[in-house]
Structure 1
C-alpha cells in the first residue's frame, strides 16, 4: 500500500469508529505525539488514548487532504474536525454535548509500510472557546 493510501485507510477507519482497525496501520513502535501533551509509545498506549477519546468525544474528519514525499516515508494530512464533546475530560471545561469545528493537521513518519509517528496539531484555545461558548 502506498503512503497516501495508508493514511487514507487510517482516517477511513477513524471516521467509521473502527479504532481497532486503526492499530493495524501502525508500526509496533509507533510514537504518538499529542497536541499539548507528551509522547505515547507503542500500540497499547495508542489504543488506550483511542478508548479515552471515544468515551469523551465523537468526531468526524472532513475535507481531508493528504500529502506525501516522493520517498513515501513522510506524510501530512490537513482536515476539519467536526465533533461533539460527550464526557468531561480532566482539566478541560465541563462537557454538555457541545459541538465544535476545528481545522487540524497531522504529520506522519512511515517505516516498514506502517505509520511509525503520528503528530497532531490543533488550536486548543479555539476548541475551548467553542465549547465554553
Structure 2
C-alpha cells in the first residue's frame, strides 16, 4: 500500500483527510478506494483530457484506465486546504505512460503541476475537477503538443 506523498511546504495547515484519501487511492491505483470516496452520484472531471465520469462504476473505470495507461501514476501533494464543503489541492502528477489511448508510450516520463477542486457532501466527494496542462505533459513525453511553439526557449530568457 502506498501512502500519499506530502511535500514540505510553508503551510501550517494540515492536509484534509479527504484529499489524503484521494491521493492514496491514486497512488494505490485502486478504483475501489477512489469510488468509495464519492457520493453515489459523484462526478470526476479531468479537464486536460476533456472527460467526465459519473457514479461509482465509471469513476472506478477511470482509475483502472489511467493505471493501465500509466502503471506508475502517482500524486505528490504540495499543499491543500478545506473550507466547509469545498477543498483544493495543488499537486504534481508523475508517471511513465505505456500508452495514452491508442498512442504507444515513448519511454519518457512526465511531471506536471496540477490543481484539483473538490465539492464535498456529507464527508464524501460530490464533484472533483482536475486541471493540468496536457500540452506540457505531451511535450515532456515527446508527443506533438499543438500547432504553436513559442519562438524562444528558456535559454533565451536568461
Q: In 1, are the aligned partners of 2:77 and 2:91 still within 8 Å (CA)?
A: yes
What is the DSSP-based 3-state SS (H/G/I as helix, E as strand, rest coil) of the residue aligned with 1:85? coil
CA shift for structure 1 position 9: 1.4
CA shift for structure 1 position 59: 1.1
| Uncovered stretches (5+) of structure 1, i.e. residues with no partner | none
Aligned length: 127
Aligned counterpart, 1:89 = 101
How far apart, CA to CA, are the structure 2 residues paired with 1:43 and 1:63?
A: 24
The yes-or-no answer on 1:49 pairing with 2:59 is no
The yes-or-no answer on 1:67 pairing with 2:77 is no
Task: Write out per-residue CA displacement over residues 90-131 of structure 1, whole angstroms, 9 at most, x where no aligned residue.
Answer: 4xx531332011000100000121001010010011111111
Larger radius of gyration between Structure 1 and Structure 2: 2
In the TM superposition, structure 1's runs of 4+ consecutive aligned residues that sit over 6 Å from their partners are: none
Q: In 2, are the aligned partners of 1:32 and 1:39 still within 8 Å (CA)?
A: yes
Q: 2:44 aligns with which of 25, 28, 32?
A: 32
Q: In 2, are the aligned partners of 1:86 and 1:98 still within 8 Å (CA)?
A: no
Higher strand share: 1
CA shift for structure 1 position 6: 1.5
Q: In 2, are the aligned partners of 1:81 and 1:104 still within 8 Å (CA)?
A: yes
- TM-score for the superposition, normalised by structure 1: 0.85
How far apart, CA to CA, are the structure 2 residues paired with 1:21 and 1:40?
A: 16
